[in-house]
Chain A
């Protein structure tokens, strides 16, 4: 009996002792100073990309890695690629286990919490000359208020276009030579086609999100970093979308849809409009060749969004010099141009590279693709980041829930926006 009590007490003590291992450890945010990459580099580094290991990009990456290893024979680069879905969760588990790859592909919103936790190298301190190499807006997207430093090298920049099903629109009397260029024109068209088709051919496939509000000129954040988009202008935009839903210009399922459903409904022939990148014809060719035949592209309505992808260096890397040198190598102008020739519609993140955008369309023969790339290169001159990095997935879900209620008329647009702004300000992850 006494032994049983002793054994049970030991087990309980072990359990309580383990409970002391709670929470994640805060990263060491101390800067490591300048890093010299000019000397002889050595070691093994891991390089992680996000859904880029495929027939198109694999030869490119293998060449880049081989040429880097040729320049630095004592460095070995191990390339790993993560699937498209669940990337945040994968990064989180790697960060928690202190196994973040040395060089990793991160957009600014995913890089931010890692930078907050001190998991990423401050590239501005590591090599102050880097900032002049990259497009200023893209470089700044990896700098965050309250955290000193810059935590990503802009790698490739993209934006959206507007894609239309010409055959479907002409059926309802739309002049496809004069398609919408503003959100209000898009809304008017959706109402017109919705009424004319009796709801059988909706135009719009998704609810307005934060990007649509920003694109329409609504101010999202104030100078203090508080969300302030519950304005009369934003409410008026939601009211307009309610009219679209009532007229049958938007399918009811858009109320529980995600952005990903946007292009899917277009490919299924269920809606006449979608926003997508300039490589959309490739997807259409594979998934919906009959829709491709009647698809045309125009510039995105309202302000064009800027999507930034970059390479970051792990602060826990045991080979920071090699990692920094490799990240800088992959993101130099020559390699970025070569990458963007494969990734149709994307532009390099370096100043020199973005100025040489004409080179990217050499070799493209598809007229729709060529037109799309031309539109993209014009849009990129004024594209901007519409969704701030402070905006989280939980906020997106809450916004979608409230906007759905507003579009159903169960809540006023202003009340819905007030709730979303309150929620967003109460749940900010920046201090």
Chain B
């Protein structure tokens, strides 16, 4: 005997579905629609076809924004995948005072990124503490333009992102290492003569593979969508020539305010959405499960088939 009507489960999920429809799905569809118009705030736009997309691909500002966002992803993903793992291995040990170090490494995560970026902008200023120290030691004659040179500025922003993210992903790895039960595997590998590096590659990494995939995906998405670090370090200008402007900064710059170009900003947003899918698909492809396929050589195939039948 049925205990509920057919629509009961739908009613239970309805609030969440409505929330997703109103605050996620509709804005997304609306953005796609706006990207084909010349809409401005308060003024309805006219349909202009793919003009916004054509403009985007010929806009030098967009070219810089794309380069910056992709570089950010390419550099941050390996750094924030490997370094937190090494940090986690370091603090995994149960020795006295290790809790203090774990807490210390986690502190940057809870600090406000805006406040940190502001402080870093003072530190990396041409008359900030770093330049003053380097000049005092005589290692440089003129201040290094950390915040007005394209590559130095990008390096500072990436360093800030990595510094802030280390503790967070370290905790993810600690959880993965704690639940992996690889102590016996390490002992067995050690008995077989495997060195530490070999054990790291063959035992540790496979044991945290799923966490690594998750972290790569998270870092890739957040790196492509970088905003706060560059916004604060460049005072919203994107650096000289706008060469350190990210895609999200460009969307804000183009589309915000009473005179924003909402249509163009929407087109860039749609592009960013699809761009974000690529690293996720790439990571999924690299981490696909290998299928159990029959070998091609006849004798091997015969043995494989026999094994399958016996199983």
Question: What is A's interface to B at a CB cutoff of 8 Å?
Answer: 3, 7, 11, 14-16, 18-19, 21-27, 88-89, 91-92, 95-96, 110, 113-114, 116-117, 119, 251-253, 255-258, 261, 270, 392-394, 397-398, 400-402, 404-405, 408, 410-411, 427, 429
Question: What is B's interface to A at a CB cutoff of 8 Å?
Answer: 6-7, 10, 17, 21-22, 25-26, 29-30, 33-34, 37, 39-45, 61, 125-127, 143, 145, 147-148, 233-242, 253-254, 256-262
Contacting residues, chain B, for A92 (C-beta < 8 A): 41-42, 257-258
Do A23 and B39 have beta carbons less than 8 Å apart?
Answer: yes
CB-based nearest B residue for A399: B237
Given the contacts A7-B10, A252-B147, A394-B254, A404 and B241 also touching, CB distance less than 8 Å: yes
Q: Contacting A256 at CB < 8 Å: which of B34, B39, B237?
A: B237
CB-based nearest B residue for A93: B41
Cα distance A32–B256 when bound, in Å? 31
Minimum distance in angstroms from B150 CB to a CB of chain A: 9
Contacting residues, chain B, for A89 (C-beta < 8 A): 256-257
Do A392 and B259 have beta carbons less than 8 Å apart?
Answer: yes
- A selection of 20 A-B contacts at a CB cut-off of 8 Å is A15-B26, A18-B22, A18-B26, A19-B33, A23-B34, A23-B262, A89-B257, A95-B258, A114-B42, A117-B43, A252-B148, A253-B125, A253-B147, A256-B235, A256-B237, A258-B236, A397-B242, A398-B61, A401-B241, A408-B240
Do B237 and A397 have beta carbons less than 8 Å apart?
Answer: yes
Do B42 and A96 have beta carbons less than 8 Å apart?
Answer: yes
Minimum distance in angstroms from A42 CB to a CB of chain B: 30
Interface contacts beyond A394-B254, A404-B148: sample of 14 additional A-B pairs, CB < 8 Å, sorted by A: A15-B21, A15-B29, A18-B29, A22-B37, A92-B257, A114-B42, A114-B258, A117-B42, A255-B240, A256-B233, A270-B127, A394-B253, A397-B236, A404-B241
Do A392 and B30 have beta carbons less than 8 Å apart?
Answer: no
Specify the main secondary structure of chain A where it touches its partner. helix
Minimum distance in angstroms from B306 CB to a CB of chain A: 42
Given the contacts A15-B25, A18-B26, A394-B259, A26 and B237 also touching, CB distance less than 8 Å: no
Minimum distance in angstroms from B58 CB to a CB of chain A: 12
Cα distance A401–B65 when bound, in Å? 13
Contacting residues, chain B, for A402 (C-beta < 8 A): 241
CB-based nearest B residue for A245: B148
Minimum distance in angstroms from A411 CB to a CB of chain B: 8
Do B257 and A24 have beta carbons less than 8 Å apart?
Answer: no
Contacting residues, chain B, for A95 (C-beta < 8 A): 41-42, 258
Do B241 and A110 have beta carbons less than 8 Å apart?
Answer: no
Closest CB pairs A-B (n = 3): A404-B240, A117-B42, A113-B258
Cα distance A3–B43 when bound, in Å? 41
Do A258 and B126 have beta carbons less than 8 Å apart?
Answer: no
Contacting residues, chain A, for B145 (C-beta < 8 A): 252
Most buried by B among A21, A253, A398: A253
Contacting residues, chain A, for B30 (C-beta < 8 A): 18-19, 21-22
Contacting residues, chain B, for A251 (C-beta < 8 A): 126-127
Contacting residues, chain B, for A117 (C-beta < 8 A): 42-43
CB-based nearest A residue for B128: A253
Minimum distance in angstroms from A281 CB to a CB of chain B: 26
Given the contacts A3-B6, A24-B43, A394-B253, A410 and B240 also touching, CB distance less than 8 Å: yes
Cα distance A397–B242 when bound, in Å? 9
Cα distance A187–B100 when bound, in Å? 54
Cα distance A24–B261 when bound, in Å? 13
Cα distance A255–B262 when bound, in Å? 28
Cα distance A18–B24 when bound, in Å? 12
Do A392 and B257 have beta carbons less than 8 Å apart?
Answer: yes
Q: Contacting B29 at CB < 8 Å: which of A16, A25, A113?
A: A16
